[in-house]
Chains A and B, each alone.
Chain A
Amino acid sequence: MPTMSLGDQLKRRKPIVFQHKHHQGEELARNLSTFQLMMFGVGATVGTGVFFVLGEAVPKAGPAVLVSFLIAGLAAGLSALCYAELASAIPVSGSTYSYAYHAMGELVAVVIAGCVLLEYGVATGAVAVGWSGYFNELLLETIGWRLPQALSISPIPGTDGEPTGGLINLPAVVLVLLCMVLLIRGASESARINAIMVLIKLGVLILFAVIGFTAFDADHFSNFFGKGLAGVSAAAGTIFFSFIGLDAVATAGEEVKNPQKALPRAIIGALAIVSGIYLAVAAAGLAAKPVSFFEDSDNAEAGLALILKQITGNEFWSTILSAGAVISIFSVTLVTLYGQTRILFAIGRDGLIPRKFLEVSPKTMTPTFNTIVVAIVVALIGGFVPSDYLWDTVSIGTLVAFSMVAIGIIVMRRTHPDLERPFRIPGYPVTPILTVLACLYILWGLAAITWVIFGIWIAIVLLFYFFYGRHHATLNTYTDPEEIAEPAGRRLREDEE
């Protein structure tokens, strides 16, 4: 193997190689309509964060949290468009990380890998923590008993520094381990279950909005911008979390007939629906309860159910909402945990982490070791880290990754102007620049502690890369193009860059 300078290695890109052998009938004739793609985006996005986010975001921005929702949505929509161009230009299986490895070189890929791992790992933990709150609420409303505080909250004090009186968030840990078992056994959520889960989420959110508006009090919206612009941007950072998933539309781009037309329509349509529901939920929450309600940390757990209970004075509707949340968030945990294992899997294929993560059990045909490691880490996050830190950490990883994607679009257009792009972002170069600006604006509002956590994590990832990944990368030694070839399941196009 020819020796390569570190600088060259950091900049080297993974060539695009496809497997030539494929069996007949393996190429899937997948023709999604724009509407289906849009609903796919809605399903992937809606209702993960919105169940929990008001308790975190309203104290930061006050009633202007509605503006924060719009800003976060705008940034997410623009990012998804950028992501769509990158995904369409590089038709490989994988995540943002994989596209970056092909487009922008190893160093950028490693940093993005760090961001994406942080995003999905912490998101799964965060969702499990949120689930735990609704699970306890549901227990209380149905059997009149809930787990004691010691077993349902993390021992680490939140951002307010007050002791929590908790030992471990047991429901969150159990949920993650349960999902782990399902994933190891090879469970997968079918399109039908997915659709049902989406309907449940939409149903309970609309239920909340409708009931919330019956308690409308315009006074709650007074002093709209009371917390200032900094508050709006800080809240947008937290809220951004609840728009993650919109990028799913981008990766499904190869399944539509005319991506140039369908992708922006689907992304904008999905964004409009999701934003509409979020705004309705946020407005209904604000209409029903004053800002001070959200500031009380006792009300953060299972916030939406609590509001319903207080408005209606009985537990019927809040029980329905809690049940809906418990069911649908369970599926979200399963899917995000799955996503995390498969990101690691993609990284493992490139040799940047030990090959053990690639091992597929011949019995269950799932990456068992990988799944167990991911689940243990996520269970630790869910069991011991308070949710205050989690949402923002997810957002920072995603925002940094998306900013790099947007910059990558501009770089790619300049370095590879001739690359075939089934989808070209409209309004170039304004759109990617606007994306970067929107992401930076939200990043600017994030708390210092979030940046510290992020910095430490990326430092760990880079150290790992310098001491391990750099020496084991598949690109160092491959002799046969098959070793780096992409699975043939996706679109069969063999144009090398």
Chain B
Amino acid sequence: MTYVVGYSPHKDDACALSVAAQFARSDKDSVHAVTVVPQGWEVAAGSATDGDFTAWAQGQGEASAEEALTLLGADAGVPIAASWVTGRSVPAALLEQVEALDADMIVVGSGANGAPGRVAMTAKTDRLLHSSPVPVAIAPRGYAAEPGSRFTRVTVGFRDDDATWHLLQRVADICRRTGASLRLVTVALDRPPMYTAAVSGAEDLVREQWRRQASAAQDEAVEHLVDAGFARDEVETVLARGATWVEALDSVEWHSGDVLVVGSSSTHLLTQVFLGSSAAKIVRASPVPVVVVP
């Protein structure tokens, strides 16, 4: 078992390495950085042009793997490895490696275009989310864990539906194994009120009701976790609200050992095809590394 990192030297992917090492330290596991380089055409041997290309790609792959090892560094505190493979599609090649290395998780970066400090989803991440059998972690752009640090608290995006309950169960198991504490966060947007003569403060009424419902669901989840052997003070609950998703997530306090986990969608068959619309927005607004669980 290992944490596979999709690493590309051109993509500002040091943050992904940092997150993967932090996971590996938390879970006493290893990190394996994988670089995918373009595959040559499988034409008749001896084609000089293609031979040049293959040689170039090989050089790129080796350089990149070396770079990844350097970045992971000796102070990763866990076994590290790096390799390169060829492939037509980066996500497909990464998924093959996940299977070959029996990985727990794929870790990727936020690309070079996201806002600093936030998670961004690239086209490749999107493809991974649609087809990965293992959870996909995305590092915020520019993320750098403190040397030797671990994840100490897992925040689960909690909504009162079957899928989330299932997710909660899985995360709780991991938390117990790694000694991290658990936090449930339920996120809601404050909508602007509509102008109506009928009711003043109409949206306040609805928000208040939402707050009661969400708190009740969280309390129920906490009871459930306590029954399953969690200490009450290891589980926190929080309601995040704001006018935008970013504002809502910023209303919650985060510290350096935090990671956010969201489920990919509700229970139906399209589970892997669509990241739920709220989940996608929460992922993009997150200031800490995010794990999307299929």
- A-side interface residues toward B, CB under 8 Å? 19, 23, 40, 43-44, 87, 92-95, 98, 116, 120, 186, 188-191, 194, 244-248, 251-252, 334-336, 338-340, 342-343, 345-346, 349, 358-360, 362-363, 365-367, 487-490
Contacts and interface: CB of A to CB of B under 8 A. Distances in A.
A94 B206 contact: no
A116 B200 contact: no
A487 B197 contact: no
Interface string B200-227: 1111111111100110010000000000
Interface stretch (B29-37, B59-67, B175-183, B186-194): B186-194
Interface residues of B, number: 31
B209 A489 contact: no
23 contacts: A40-B195, A93-B202, A94-B200, A95-B198, A186-B191, A188-B203, A189-B195, A190-B192, A245-B197, A248-B196, A251-B199, A252-B200, A338-B194, A338-B202, A339-B199, A360-B206, A360-B210, A360-B213, A365-B189, A365-B210, A367-B206, A489-B203, A489-B207
Contacts of B186: 362
B192 A346 contact: no
Contacts of B204: 93, 487-490
B195 A191 contact: yes
Given A188-B191, A362-B159, A363-B278, A244 B197 contact: yes
B75 interface: no
A251 B194 CA distance: 13
Given A339-B196, A487-B208, A362 B160 contact: yes
A488 B208 CA distance: 9
A95 B192 contact: no
Contacts of B209: 345, 349, 358, 360, 367
Contacts of B278: 363
Contacts of B161: 362-363
Contacts of A334: 194
Nearest to A99: B200
Contacts of A342: 196, 198-199, 202, 205-206
B98 to A, nearest CB: 31
> Counting chain A CB atoms within 10 Å of each CB, which of B191, B192, B209 scores highest?
B209
A87 B197 CA distance: 12
A339 B206 CA distance: 12
A359 B216 CA distance: 13
A339 B159 contact: no
A201 to B, nearest CB: 13
A473 to B, nearest CB: 17
Contacts of B198: 95, 116, 120, 336, 338-340, 342-343
Given A87-B200, A93-B200, A365-B188, 20 more contacts: A95-B199, A188-B191, A188-B192, A189-B194, A194-B195, A244-B197, A247-B197, A251-B197, A251-B199, A336-B198, A338-B196, A339-B196, A339-B197, A339-B198, A342-B202, A345-B199, A365-B189, A365-B191, A489-B204, A489-B207
B199 A93 contact: yes
B289 to A, nearest CB: 25
A372 B64 CA distance: 57
Contacts of B159: 362-363
B278 to A, nearest CB: 7
A334 B195 CA distance: 10
A346 B200 CA distance: 10
Nearest to A23: B251
The 5 closest A-B pairs by CB, nearest first: A339-B198, A93-B201, A251-B200, A248-B197, A489-B204
A19 B195 CA distance: 24
B194 A94 contact: no
B205 A346 contact: yes
Contacts of A336: 196, 198
A359 B206 CA distance: 9
> Counting chain A CB atoms within 10 Å of each CB, which of B161, B193, B198, B209 scores highest?
B198
Contact of A365 (B193, B206, B251): B206
B201 A489 contact: yes
Given A93-B201, A362-B159, A362-B161, A335 B206 contact: no
B193 to A, nearest CB: 7
B87 to A, nearest CB: 37
Nearest to B161: A362
A367 B160 CA distance: 15
A336 B198 CA distance: 8
B237 to A, nearest CB: 15
Interface string B274-294: 000010000000000000000
B282 to A, nearest CB: 13
A94 B203 CA distance: 10
A137 to B, nearest CB: 27
Contacts of B197: 44, 244-248, 251, 339
Interface in B204-257: 204-210, 213-214, 217, 251
Contacts of B251: 23
B199 A346 contact: yes
Contacts of A186: 191
A191 to B, nearest CB: 7
Contacts of A244: 197
Contacts of A98: 199
Given A40-B195, A188-B194, A345 B202 contact: yes
A299 B203 CA distance: 40
Nearest to A366: B206
Given A252-B200, A362-B160, A363-B278, A487 B205 contact: yes
A345 B195 contact: no
Contacts of B195: 40, 43-44, 189, 191, 194, 248, 335
A359 B245 CA distance: 23
A188 B210 CA distance: 17
Interface in B150-187: 159-161, 186
Nearest to A358: B209
Contacts of A359: 213
A404 B208 CA distance: 29
Given A252-B200, A346-B205, A188 B213 contact: no
A363 B276 CA distance: 10
Nearest to A489: B204
B140 to A, nearest CB: 25
A350 B259 CA distance: 40
Contacts of A340: 198
B270 to A, nearest CB: 15
A203 to B, nearest CB: 19
Contact of B192 (A19, A191, A251, A335): A191
Contacts of A339: 196-199, 202
Contacts of B194: 188-189, 334-335, 338
Contacts of B214: 362
A488 B191 CA distance: 16
Nearest to A335: B196
Contacts of B193: 188
A26 to B, nearest CB: 9
A487 B190 CA distance: 14
A241 to B, nearest CB: 13
